[in-house]
Amino acid sequence: MKKIGLTTTVPIEVLLAAGYTPVDLNNLFITSEDYSEYIDTAEKDGFPKSLCAWIKGIYGACIQNNIKQIVGVMEGDCSNTKALVEVMSLKGIKVYPFSFPHSHKIKDIKKEMDKFMKMFDVNLEQVESVRQKLNKIRNLGIQVDKLTYKEDKVNGFENHLYQVSFSDFNGDVDKFETNLKSTIEDIRKRDPLKKNIRLGYIGVPPMTADLYDFVEKFGAKIVYNEVQREFAFPRAEKALNIYEQYYDYTYPYDINFRLDEIIEQIQERNLDAIIHYTQAFCYRAVEDIIIKQKLDIPVLNIEGDKQNLLDARTKLRLEAFLDMIRDLKRRNS
């Protein structure tokens, strides 16, 4: 099967129906031992220092791994993607555009989805067949999530890793299913983790993945990973078709639509506080103003840039925040 890179989660059902192997360039970038080389590649080719590290990492991962075709999300993701794909086109990479319409109307989503299917010469029946198969596997993601916040047997980083992998099923759907089933069997045998503070993580997946281990040192655990969970499409089986499934996908649409689901999960998971992660030079950082006004639990905004480890200042802020949450819980108990 031909490899095709993804700049973010897209209707993977269409690509699989067309005989492609999707590769999430974000995952390829951030899981590399030499992830910084991908950023260096972009900066050597002229990408400015004052640009999101994710965009530069995606570019470097695509170039260094010799990926010749990509799907670029032009609306509903990073505002820098349009310029990114223009540079990629200049490098001879074939770009297939896709958009999550800002209008968030089902008729507009259908129009974009139909255009995407036509681009890859597949029909709705083929796509729905793939969707049914994938949604059975996505149920495994729901199981992992419940083992995280209900049975307390999965830590925050594991939850993040398993769910974010649903963006491309690690490049092999059948192998991914087999491995995840085996993992879930092993997880069920564990003793529950005992952490007093229950946290939610919202925002794009972090560059600084040590965040999860760090908060656990202070008796806290992240039991909700917002965007990563959306990559796994936890409500997919309720959708009648692929159009409804991608209409219900919160990440590409406005912050108020996202907040409806976040608020529901705060209540469902009995969260004590939220960590809102933003990336340096990203427009989504401005959404923190709305988030703090709309949520009725404490919110800490932290920012990442190029480093994949928390810096000393962020560690101090996290420690102080967790101390405050612990004190609030004592007073309210």
315 shares a domain with 198: yes
Residues 158 and 302 grouped into a single domain: yes
Are 235 and 129 within one domain?
A: yes
Look up the CATH number of the domain holding residue 147: 3.40.50.11900
Phi, psi torsion values for 107, nearest 5 degrees: -65, -35
On whether both 199 and 302 belong to a single domain, the answer is yes
Whether residues 155 and 54 fall in one domain: no
Q: Among 122, 153, 178, which residue terminates a domain?
A: 122
**Dist. CA 45–CA 30, nearest whole Å:** 20
Sign for the CA dihedral angle at 11, 34, 283, 209 comes to positive
Which residue's structure tokens are 């049975």? 151
pLDDT value of position 81: 86
Question: Are 103 and 137 found together in one domain?
Answer: no
* CATH number of the structural domain spanning residue 48: 3.40.50.11890
Question: Are residues 145 and 278 located together in one domain of the fold?
Answer: yes
State residue 166's pLDDT score.
96
Q: Residues 54, 196: one domain?
A: no
The residue behind tokens 């890793």 is: 161
pTM: 0.94
Q: What pLDDT was estimated at residue 32? A: 85
d(CA 137, CA 181): 9
Tell me: do 162 and 210 sit in the same domain.
Answer: yes
Find the domain containing 244 and state its range. Answer: 125-332
pLDDT of residue 161: 95
Residues 108 and 141 grouped into a single domain: no
Last residue of some domain: 96, 122, 148? 122
pLDDT of 207: 83
Instruction: Output the pLDDT for position 318.
Output: 97
Q: Note the pLDDT of residue 307.
A: 83
pLDDT at 35: 86
How far apart, in whole angstroms, are the C-alpha atoms of residue 311 and residue 308? 9
Consecutive sets of 10 residues in the chain, 333 residues long: mean pLDDT of each? 91 97 93 88 92 90 94 82 90 95 96 97 98 97 97 96 95 96 96 93 91 96 97 95 97 93 97 92 78 95 87 96 93 80
- Give me the DSSP letters along 166-231: GGTGGG-HHHHHHHHHHHHHHHHTSPPP--SEEEEEESSPPS-TTHHHHHHTTTEEEEEEHHHHHH
Q: Do 162 and 107 fall into the same domain?
A: no
Q: Number of folded domains in the chain?
A: 2
Q: Which of 78, 103, 122 is the last residue of a domain?
A: 122
Query: Tell me, what's the pLDDT at 108?
Result: 97
Same domain, 181 and 255: yes
Amino acid at 219: G
Looking at residue 115, its pLDDT comes to 97
The answer to whether 233 touches 135, Cβ cutoff 8 Å, is: yes
Query: What pLDDT score does 109 carry?
Result: 97
pLDDT of res. 10? 95
